[in-house]
């Protein structure tokens, strides 16, 4: 592309000083959008705008990170006659993107749709244009995902060379990735990958990997490139909520790194391979710790998100000839999308709903329209969404996420409605394993009173909390595996909560087994791989013993960070008691070998870790002496309710004659309708008002 010479123009500063803010012309039709043509200027950004019907297509849609919302840069707008008629302010990241789009030799067309420019950010059209985002991305000729400027440093060059080599080497693994429904499942079966080793020229000793030294000058690029490759695979672009629909609505997508155009899936595949530990684990752990993400979540979360996008794109392209309705038939309900992508970042909390409508199967049924007006607060948007879901769905799945996304102590909003708080969010037990009420679907539709501030449901209170430990707080260091004071605090909270439950009830095989199941929120059908000398209940208790032994080893390793003497003493006591219960089947000196877990113990602990449901959850005992794993901070006297149409139990806090929703509860002994044995729900259930 020939750049227009600087000599043809006044200086950039002179040009900009002579211009005023560009005034957008109103869109001429309900299906109209603006597109821009980027001009070939050398030292500043110039473009021209025109209106088209969205169905005309012919433009390329940009997916990118706004970054810092400040707009210190400007794009000059030309009129139909080529004259400069105004400027539009730009964020720093979009200014970089414009330069790279202009210089990218792989982009023959320079016609784009970019929200920051093509939507009047100061006008009233934003609501309508956001509602059209699905159509805008569907009708674009291509979606370009901008992952930042490249730079000319050695690490960048090394990363690009490394990327090409790794993508080619692991090509046989991509079909294996596609055969599974989640990246977590892939991780559990990583030993089955067709290609498990790096190319020989990329294999280094642990010392070389950790210190980023190559074997020779010629291959030093390999070690240098790992850090930059990790940054690319888990960059800020992976954290954006809007990226989900932007990548799923169009089959033609590319990555743009600096002016270099890359196939879209090359970078997501790197994130998946990092997560699956097919790359040097030392790199993954080190970069996890160093990664400067604003998000609370570990990079592995974003790898799982990218896997979902990659998987659905591949599924769409594979099944396209057989799918009459196009991608819509692959979409899931809005709430499911909100739950799966809840860790992704959006600057406006209303986008938790609006940013997913275009890829949600029930968007039309719910009838939600994007509305960014000042009086349309996030709380009012969430409340309206919650009411619509409860009015249309056949179950109470919404309550599980409403409780997860709410603060029980915030009395300004209904506890049963969605009101997404900042991270970290509490863990939630998986769906599909519980049936605490005789009616698994709503026989009677929920009612709303007091201007939708209270929902009325059918069910009954079946137990109360008698004792509760404090909820487990998890720091970012706990999420990414950094052994520091925050990590140790989380470990001691886990051990304290578990030990308090066991000491309250007594350490028996039955209680220890029930506690282990509560930690993992497992149904009775689960059974660990049996040891030849142990019964199923003994093997489950062995899992709990292995967890205790592992966590005690963590405390032992971190003794120089802070003291946890009391917790250590309680932990040793529990280990001794559990070992005594299993004395005929184990041979472990728990006092002299705290840091040495056997292979069987490591495998058992790993299984508990994969299933554990502990973040921001309390371990409790009910009045019936049952063990409860409850969401949020559970208090003595809280009620446990079985509700019609609910797939799980809920903890409710009495407030006069009404209740506030605290969270869900997993209670071995009450999860499968035990409270309704021999009873007719129509005779014993009553109205429960939750505010």
Which residues are within 8 A (CB) of 633 and not within 5 positions of it... i.e. 6 or more apart? 408, 468, 470, 471, 618, 662
Residue that the structure tokens 């404090």 belong to: 470
Residues recorded for the chain: 691
Average pLDDT (384-404) is 93
Res. 9: pLDDT tops 70: no
Better pLDDT: 3 or 663 = 663
Alpha-carbon Rg of the chain, whole angstroms? Answer: 28
68-91 mean pLDDT: 92
pLDDT tens, position by position, 122-152: 877 888 888 898 999 999 999 999 999 987 7
Q: Coil, strand, or helix at residue 78?
A: strand
pLDDT at 424 exceeding the cut of 90: no
For position 389, what pLDDT does the model report? 96
Q: For 537-548, write each residue's pLDDT tens digit.
A: 999 999 999 999
**Residue 29: is it exposed, middle or buried by C-beta count within 10 angstroms (0-12/13-18/19+)?**
exposed
pLDDT digits (tens, 9 = 90+) for 249-299: 998 999 999 999 999 999 999 999 998 889 877 766 666 666 544 456 777
Provide the angle, in degrees to the nearest 10, between the axes of the packed helices 266-275 and 281-290. 100
DSSP letter at 532?
A: T
Residue 593 CB neighbours (<10 A) = 12
614 and 494 Cβ atoms separated by less than 8 Å = yes
What is the rounded distance in angstroms from the CA atom of residue 112 to the CA atom of residue 100? 13
Higher pLDDT among residues 478 and 468, named by residue: 468
Taking the complete model, does pTM exceed 0.75, yes or no? yes
Tell me the mean pLDDT in the region 344-356.
Answer: 91
Chain Cα centroid distance, residue 639: 31
Q: Output the 3-class SS for 17-41.
A: HCCCECCCCCCCCCCEEEEEEECCE
Task: Quote the pLDDT of residue 109.
Answer: 95
pLDDT-based confidence at residue 205 (cuts at 50, 70, 90)? low
Tokens representing residue 465 in the block: 């909390």
Beta bridge partner(s), residue 621:
467, 627
Bridge-based pairing state of the strands 639-643 and 627-631: unpaired
Check: CB of residue 263 under 8 Å from CB of residue 372. no
**Range of lowest pLDDT (339-348, 359-368, 449-458):** 339-348
Residue ranges of E strands in 366-417: none
Q: How confident is the model at residue 12 (pLDDT cuts 50, 70, 90)?
A: low
Query: Which residues, 6+ apart, have CB-to-CB distance to 115 below 8 Å?
Result: 62, 129
Sign of CA dihedral 153, 159, 165, 171: negative
pLDDT for 631 equals 95
> Which residues lie across from 658 on neighbouring strands?
655
Residues in Cβ contact with 386 at an 8 Å cutoff, skipping those fewer than 6 apart: 398, 402, 414, 416, 417, 418
Helix residue ranges per DSSP H, 171-276: 173-178, 183-188, 206-211, 220-233, 243-248, 266-275
Q: How far is CA 635 from CA 408, 418, 464, in A?
A: 11, 22, 10
Q: Which of the four pLDDT bands, split at 50, 70 and 90, describes residue 210?
A: very low
Tokens coding 211: 């210190």
Strand partners, 45: 75
- The sign of the dihedral angle between the CA atoms of 91, 93, 94, 99 is positive
CA atoms within 13 Å, Cβ hemisphere of 155: 12
**For residue 605, what are the contacts with CB-CB under 8 A and spacing of at least 6?**
543, 546, 547, 549, 550, 597
Q: Which two tokens stand for residue 424?
A: 């970290």
Q: List the beta bridge partners of residue 639.
A: 464, 652
Provide the pLDDT confidence category of residue 325 given band limits of 50, 70 and 90: very low
Name the least confident of 55-69, 448-462, 483-497. Answer: 483-497
pLDDT for res 280: 79
Strand order from edge to edge, sheet including 32-38: 84-90, 73-78, 45-53, 32-38, 111-113, 60-63, 142-146, 253-257, 260-263
According to the model, what pLDDT value does residue 410 have? 84
Q: Across all residues in the chain, what is the average pLDDT?
A: 86
Say how far apart CA 636 and CA 518 lie, in whole Å: 19
Rounded CA-CA distance 580/578 in Å is 5
| C-alpha–C-alpha distance, residues 298 and 479, integer Å | 6
Q: Which residue reads 């009404």 in tokens?
A: 658
Whether 332 contacts 338, CB under 8 Å: no
Report the alpha-carbon distance of residue 358 to residue 362 in Å, rounded: 10
Question: Does the pLDDT of residue 558 top 90, yes or no?
Answer: no
Instruction: For 564-627, give the DSSP string.
Output: -HHHHHHHHHHHHHHHHHTTTT----TTT-TT---HHHHHHHHHHHHH---BTEEEEEETTS-E
Q: Give CA 183 to chain center in angstroms.
A: 12
Outline where 5-91 has alpha helix (H).
Answer: 12-17
**How many other C-beta atoms lie within 10 A of the C-beta of residue 192?**
12
């Amino acid at each position: 592309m020939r750049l227009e010479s600087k000599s043809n123009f006044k200086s950039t500063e002179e040009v900009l000083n002579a211009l005023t803010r560009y005034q957008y012309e109103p869109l001429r039709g309900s299906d109209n959008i603006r597109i821009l043509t980027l001009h070939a200027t050398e030292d500043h950004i110039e473009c021209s705008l025109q209106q088209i019907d969205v169905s005309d297509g012919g433009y390329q849609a940009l997916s990118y990170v706004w970054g810092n919302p400040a707009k210190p840069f400007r794009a000059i707008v030309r009129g139909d006659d080529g004259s400069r008629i105004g400027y539009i302010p730009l964020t720093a990241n979009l200014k970089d993107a414009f330069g790279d789009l202009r210089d990218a030799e792989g982009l023959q067309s320079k016609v784009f749709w970019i929200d920051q420019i093509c939507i009047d950010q100061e006008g009233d059209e934003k609501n309508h244009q956001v509602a059209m985002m699905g159509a805008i991305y569907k009708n674009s000729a291509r979606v370009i995902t901008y992952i930042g400027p490249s730079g000319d440093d050695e690490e960048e060059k090394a990363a690009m060379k490394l990327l090409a080599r790794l993508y080619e080497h692991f090509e046989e693994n991509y079909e294996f990735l596609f055969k599974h429904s989640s990246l977590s499942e892939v991780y559990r079966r990583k030993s089955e990958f067709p290609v498990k080793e790096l190319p020989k020229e990329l294999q280094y000793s642990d010392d070389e990997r950790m210190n980023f030294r190559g074997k020779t000058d010629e291959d030093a690029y390999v070690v240098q490139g790992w850090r930059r490759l990790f940054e690319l695979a888990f960059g800020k672009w992976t954290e954006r909520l809007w990226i989900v629909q932007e990548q799923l609505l169009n089959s033609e997508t590319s990555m743009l790194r600096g002016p270099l155009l890359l196939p879209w899936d090359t970078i997501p595949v790197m994130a998946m391979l990092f997560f699956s530990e097919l790359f040097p684990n030392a790199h993954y752990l080190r970069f996890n710790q160093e990664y400067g993400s604003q998000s609370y979540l570990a990079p592995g979360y974003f790898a799982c998100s990218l896997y979902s996008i990659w998987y659905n794109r591949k599924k769409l392209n594979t099944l396209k000839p057989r799918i009459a309705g196009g991608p819509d038939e692959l979409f899931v309900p809005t709430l499911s999308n909100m739950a799966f992508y809840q860790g992704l970042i959006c600057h406006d909390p209303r986008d938790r709903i609006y940013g997913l409508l275009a890829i949600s199967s029930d968007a039309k049924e719910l009838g939600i329209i994007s509305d960014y007006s000042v009086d349309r607060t996030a709380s009012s948007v969430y409340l309206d969404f919650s009411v619509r879901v409860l009015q249309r769905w056949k179950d109470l799945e919404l309550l599980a996420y409403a409780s997860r996304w709410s603060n029980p102590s915030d009395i300004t909003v209904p506890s049963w409605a969605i009101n997404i708080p900042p991270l970290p969010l509490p863990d939630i037990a998986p769906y599909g394993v519980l049936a605490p009420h005789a009616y698994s679907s709503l026989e009677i539709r929920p009612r709303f009173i007091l201007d939708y501030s209270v929902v009325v449901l059918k069910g009954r209170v079946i137990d109360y909390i008698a004792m509760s430990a404090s909820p487990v707080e998890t720091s970012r260091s706990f999420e990414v595996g950094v052994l520091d004071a925050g990590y140790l605090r989380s470990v001691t909270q886990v051990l304290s909560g578990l030990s308090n439950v066991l000491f309250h009830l007594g350490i028996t095989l039955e209680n220890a087994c029930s506690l282990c199941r509560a930690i993992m929120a497992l149904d009775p059908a689960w059974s660990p791989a049996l040891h030849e000398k142990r019964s199923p209940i003994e093997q489950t208790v062995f899992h709990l013993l292995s967890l205790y032994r592992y966590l005690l080893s963590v405390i032992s390793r971190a003794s120089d960070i802070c003291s946890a003497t009391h917790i250590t003493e309680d932990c040793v006591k529990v280990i001794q008691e559990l070992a005594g219960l299993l004395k005929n089947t184990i041979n472990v000196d728990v006092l002299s070998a705290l840091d040495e877990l056997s292979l069987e113990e490591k495998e058992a602990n790993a299984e508990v870790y994969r299933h554990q449901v502990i973040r921001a959850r309390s371990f409790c005992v009910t009045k019936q002496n049952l063990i409860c794993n409850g969401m949020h901070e559970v208090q003595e006297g809280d009620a446990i309710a079985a509700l019609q149409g609910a797939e799980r139990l809920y903890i409710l806090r009495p407030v006069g004659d009404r209740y506030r929703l605290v969270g869900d509860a997993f209670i071995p002994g009450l999860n499968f309708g035990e409270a309704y044995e021999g009873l007719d729900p129509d005779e014993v259930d009553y109205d429960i008002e939750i505010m």
